Amino acid sequence: MWIRSPLSKSLLLGFVLTCIPALAPGISASPAKLSVYRGASLIDGTGAALKRDVAIMVDGERIRAIVPDAQVAPFLRGATVVDAHGLYALPGLIDSHVHLATAPNRRYAEALLRRDVYGGVTAVRDMAGDARLLADLSRGALLSEIAAPDIYYAALMAGPEFFKDPRTADSTRGAVPGEVPWMRAVTTSTDLRLAVAEARGTGATAIKIYADLPGTLVRNIVDEAHRQNLLVWAHAAVFPASPREVIDSGVDVVSHVCMLAYQASEQMPRAYHGRAPVEEAKFTGDNPQMDAIFADMKRRGTILDATLYVYDVMWRVPNAQPRPYCTLKLAEKLAADAHRAGVTISAGTDAPGDWNDPYPSLDRELSLLVHGTGFSPMDAIVSATRIGAMTIGKSREMGTIEPGKLANFVFVSGNPLDDIANLRSVTMTVKRGQLYRRSAYRPISKDEAQGEF
């Protein structure tokens, strides 16, 4: 809601009260819990134009109302007032591809999460690791026992061949890779109803379909997961399941834009490990197979988690193993083509960046979207806010700054619509109503980064 004309105190009170029925049940009207952030310019995450001089009223962990700052004075008695004049407010950022517990290291994971929340990130989508640690971190984040964004994580499913990967042993220490609910080997003889139910029992938001599964089994997993009200996140190619088979199975989100390029290969690789790089010569111009894939994704509403940042990182690591299967240049081209075709694209990183960087790597992903893929700064912000919330099935709770939603937002001193790099000028982050001032941020120490994974 946006008030454009001056109102009397009684009329403004009436406006605020008309907002209340739209709020989630149970929001308290207690002034003791009310905080008011005054004077910021608002980028609300919907794609709407910037609004100047607003006041964001927060009751507990929810946004109660958003009104012009000039008309908020009647509601300040008993409230905690935070001056945000000269700042820009936008929804808390969401990194839609992280790995916090591949090789569990609680101290480093908590340090990364601390950097995230003080850097403006209020939710992350973890794409498979040790669910025992992820569940504990998620609880700590939810209850503000640790400074951290909210964590939504996956339980992994793959073919038996994949569990030779040493990362699976790291994520299942004390147990057998492929035989635990959060990292399950699946065959045609697997009781999928039980396997999905056990995955739900880990607290996972979704099943991640990783590798070494045929298209028919991918579809069966998707159908059962959806029947049990779990989302399904998948690699864009599952080997031997092709991108077309993955998308047509009805998955909710696919990761890694370059994996889509395997649809144009002369022969689809049969397995995840040992796959050849994509055939980049096929993409010097338009590619009808990719056009068809993008059209199908748009029609189905399949979200693309492009992960441009990780393609940049892979080429910066000498003698990287596995060998990079795609260049950043091709990743940017494919993401640009998908964007022009109307595919919904989220902002995920798949790598945390250097431990001594004062900001999370999500800022770099957004920069790549803007400078390498043709996104406007507004497009990039929406990808990391509203669309990020869609990837975790939480659009009603977060992703935009609106009455009734969680009070997840960040203040920056520079206008990110002028320069996306201004996202690295955070002054305050609010997550579930709790204020984190950037001035209180304690950078990751070298000691915390020992054993970095």
pLDDT, tens digit (0-9, with 9 covering 90-100), for 14-49:
333 333 333 333 333 343 489 999 999 999 999 999
Strands 344-346 and 51-59: unpaired
The tens digit of pLDDT for each residue in 132-141 reads 999 999 999 9
Q: What is the pLDDT of residue 422?
A: 98
Taking alpha carbons only, the member of 191, 250, 185, 196 closest to residue 218 is 250
CATH code assigned to 93-399: 3.20.20.140
d(CA 345, CA 303) in angstroms, rounded, equals: 6
Measured in whole angstroms, the distance separating CA 167 from the mean position of its chain's CA atoms is 22
Q: Which two tokens stand for residue 258?
A: 């370059």
Residue ranges, comma separated, of all CATH 2.30.40.10 domains in the chain are 9-90+413-440
Reported as type and span, the H/E element at residue 235 is strand 231-235
Q: Which is it for the CA torsion 376, 378, 379, 385, positive or negative? A: positive
Residue ranges, comma separated, of all CATH 3.20.20.140 domains in the chain are 93-399
Q: What are phi and psi of 258, to 5 degrees?
A: -70, -25
Residue type, 353: G
Q: Are the C-beta atoms of 133 and 171 separated by less than 8 Å?
A: no
pTM of this prediction?
0.92
∠ CA 7-407-137, nearest 5°, is 175
> What CATH homologous superfamily does 9-90+413-440 map to?
Urease, subunit C, domain 1 (2.30.40.10)
Share above pLDDT 90 across residues of the chain, in percent, rounded to a whole number:
87
Assess whether the previous peptide bond of 324 is cis (omega < 30° from 0).
no
Q: Indicate the SS3 state at residue 92.
A: coil
DSSP calls for 156-203: EEE-GGGGGSHHHHHTTTTS-TBEETTEEE--TTS-HHHHHHHHHTTT
Alpha-helical regions (H) of 201-327: 215-227, 243-248, 288-300, 308-316
Q: What is the pLDDT of residue 452?
A: 63
Q: Are the C-beta atoms of 120 and 94 separated by less than 8 Å?
A: no
Q: Which two tokens stand for residue 167?
A: 């990362």
Assess whether the previous peptide bond of 104 is cis (omega < 30° from 0).
no
> Residue 390: is its pLDDT beyond 70?
yes
For residue 223, the tally of other CB atoms under 10 A from its CB is 15
Mention every residue, 6+ apart, whose C-beta is less than 8 A from residue 37.
55, 56, 58, 82, 84, 89, 411, 430
Mention every residue, 6+ apart, whose C-beta is less than 8 A from residue 234.
208, 209, 210, 218, 246, 249, 251, 253, 254, 255
Q: Are the C-beta atoms of 308 and 327 separated by less than 8 Å?
A: no
The tens digit of pLDDT for each residue in 167-219 reads 999 999 999 999 999 999 999 999 999 999 999 999 999 999 999 999 999 99
The stretch 432-447 carries a mean pLDDT of 97
∠ CA 65-69-72, nearest 5°, is 60
Higher pLDDT, 136 or 11: 136
Q: Which two tokens stand for residue 43?
A: 């980028």
Residue type, 302: T
The tens digit of pLDDT for each residue in 115-135 reads 999 999 999 999 999 999 999
- Residue burial 190-215, b: 16+ Cβ < 10 Å; e: rest: bebeebbebbbebbbbbbbbbbbbbb
Taking alpha carbons only, the member of 159, 95, 162, 169 closest to residue 126 is 95
Q: What are phi and psi of 39, to 5 degrees?
A: 90, 0
Taking alpha carbons only, the member of 255, 240, 241 closest to residue 208 is 255
The residue written with tokens 């994974």 in the block is: 453
d(CA 413, CA 97) in angstroms, rounded, equals: 26
For residue 366, the tally of other CB atoms under 10 A from its CB is 26
The tens digit of pLDDT for each residue in 255-292 reads 999 999 999 998 999 999 989 999 999 998 889 999 99
Q: Which two tokens stand for residue 49?
A: 């134009």
